[in-house]
Amino acid sequence: MEEVPQERPAPDMPAPGSNPAVGQAPAPAPGAPADADETLTVPPAPRRLTPLRMIWREAIKYPGQVAAALIALVTTSTATIAIPARFKGIVDQAFGPHAQPGVIDQAFHTLLLIVVVLGFATAIRFYYVSWLGERVVADIRARVQSNLLRLPPAFFETNSPKEISSRMTSDTAIIEQVVGTTVSIALRNTITALGGLIYLFFLAPKLTAGLVIGIPVVIFPIAWFGSRLRKVSRSSQDRVADIGAMTAEVLGAIRIVQSFGQEGRERARFAGAVERTFDTARRRILIRAVMTAVVIFLVMGGITALMWQGALGVSNGSLTGGTIAAFVLTGGIVAGSCGALTEVYGDLLRGAGAAGRLNELLLEQPDIAPPARPITLPSPPRGALAFQNVAFRYPSRPENSALADFSLTVEPGETVAIVGPSGAGKSTLFLLAQRFYDPQGGVVRIDGVPLPQADPSEIRARMALVPQEAVLFAASARDNLRYGAWDATDEAIWAAARAANAEEFLKALPEGLDTFLGESGARLSGGQRQRMAIARALLRDAPILLLDEATSALDAESERLVQDALDHLMQGRTTLVIAHRLATVRAADRIVVMDGGRIVEQGNHASLIAADGLYARLARMQFEGV
């Protein structure tokens, strides 16, 4: 043996199948001290494997597949041990003094049969174990997504959707890896190691006792060296990264370096970095060299000692040659299995980390839940909306009062325009009306029913929202329009499109309603997207309309088309509109002027202009030239 055994990956390399690309910090060896210089951008792997229980609970939902995988696992392990056992028979019966004719053929027939069984069982094991890995991941993804959809928008303010989507991809990929590969390796090697040890005891109890005592003596130093090596390798990589950063910095600023005559200084600085890299690499090489010597000494020394004892046993007749052959083969298998087990431990910890993080998402409970016995909203809907002494602070900014003692009653069919400077609390009204948050004081009512007493889905079914920025999905025009009214017929869709002034451009699309609109509806213009959003709200046919007028500049023609579409939409509905256009405030039944979360003025355009207050000032700035 020349080097550290390479059938296992060297400790400073990722284990096969481990997934460093997912941004996990390399897991330390069991019992390795935590790295002081470790810079973690992701949560560290936990020290315990308990979160893996969640994966087991998912897997056991498929008892047939779990049973098939386990049976195949036991079969492959048994077949692996059966090979040296059969080999013992061959050596003892075919070569010994009492060799029987034909026994070699017969023994090798059995051996071939074992190999066939091993092949089939391995294929079955691979299929079911991988199947379970993919199945568990599919189920976890679906359950996590389903729970996320229940959570209010506030949750996604503190938990960034980017981070969550990475959990949905990278953490589930780790779990797939753990179930589909790591657990299989761990189980297979545990079974093989245990089965092998039992067989070894059966073969030669005394020798095996020596082996069992010897295993930790070999494993612990290797694990200790492995953890040191990993640490040094990491700092070696950091030093190499320093060199890269320095090169990029200096070459990027080459003009400054040269015009300030700093070549000499940069040369010295770089030489220093190169030497530091060399020093760390030298330490790594030294540790590895010593480790190689220790491994060779311990492993080969151990094997030599066993062979020695075995040879003595054969010479004094207490052991047969076949026993020694089988002992060495099985011992090799057991050692290989133990080695594989130390390698997968880190992966299992990583899997436990991933499972823990996904479990958090699965267990997250919405703050805004339907009441145990929701009050049914009056039918037919009237479309009344009332805010009564509402006080609200966003949970993430409790020091800032977004709404204070806010009262507003919107009668059925009334159009109320909300006007106010940025940060006045206009959008907050919409969020509270849809019960995305509960106010800390006061109450919001829809058709007389306090929102917390009704089912949030029923509340939202009575509202149609047209946001400032039209949100379109990467789907067909038809699906974008009937989002929220999936049973709408094509006639209804076209009628809504016509009313929203969207018919003409929809007809001109290459495949009509079936045209794919691209990522976020990128294939439509801003004005067209807004008219799509208006048509969608029309199709929803809700009694209350929450309209946040677009501020994005549209050309006069587009503006007229959008305004016309909005007029259609507002007809016969209660409308709360965050107004940015003079035409809207003029058409409104009432204008409510907000500032600092309170109503500061109310009236119509003429009376508010005459009052010469905040509205008059805003109107001069906002609506000038409109």
Ligand X SMILES: Nc1ncnc2c1ncn2[C@@H]1O[C@H](COP(=O)(O)OP(=O)(O)OP(=O)(O)O)[C@@H](O)[C@H]1O
Q: In this complex, which beta carbon is closest to ligand X, that of residue 84 or of residue 420?
A: 420
Shortest spacing between CB 427 and ligand X, in angstroms: 3
Answer yes or no: are the C-beta atoms of 68 and 124 closer than 8 Å. yes
Instruction: Give the rounded distance of the alpha carbon of 322 from its chain centre.
Output: 53
**What is Dmax (Cα atoms) for the chain?**
122
Hey, which residues does 595 pair with through a beta bridge?
598
Pairwise CA distance, residues 538 & 532, whole Å: 10
Q: Is the dihedral of CA 144, 365, 472, 451 positive or negative?
A: positive
Pairwise CA distance, residues 500 & 197, whole Å: 77
Supply angle C-alpha 562, 563, 568, rounded to 5.
95
Q: Answer left, alpha or beta for residue 33, where phi above 0 means left and psi between -120 and 50 means alpha.
A: beta
H or E stretch at 403? strand 403-410
- The amino acid occupying position 403 is L
In this structure, the strands spanning 385-392 and 403-410 are antiparallel
Shortest spacing between CB 365 and ligand X, in angstroms: 20
Structure token pair of residue 325 = 């052959």
Pairwise CA distance, residues 78 & 325, whole Å: 18
Q: In this complex, which beta carbon is closest to ligand X, that of residue 420 or of residue 543?
A: 420
Shortest spacing between CB 565 and ligand X, in angstroms: 22
- Count of CB atoms situated within 10 Å of the CB of 181: 20
Pairwise CA distance, residues 230 & 225, whole Å: 9
Before 11, cis peptide (omega within 30)?
no
Give me the residue label for tokens 């030298």: 282
Q: Answer left, alpha or beta for residue 612, where phi above 0 means left and psi between -120 and 50 means alpha.
A: left
SS3 (DSSP) at 576: strand
What are the residues binding ligand X (CB under 6 A)? 157, 394, 396-397, 400, 402, 420, 422-428
Pairwise CA distance, residues 563 & 543, whole Å: 20
| DSSP at 476 | B
Pairwise CA distance, residues 344 & 18, whole Å: 9
Shortest spacing between CB 420 and ligand X, in angstroms: 6
Hey, which residues does 603 pair with through a beta bridge?
591
Pairwise CA distance, residues 426 & 418, whole Å: 7
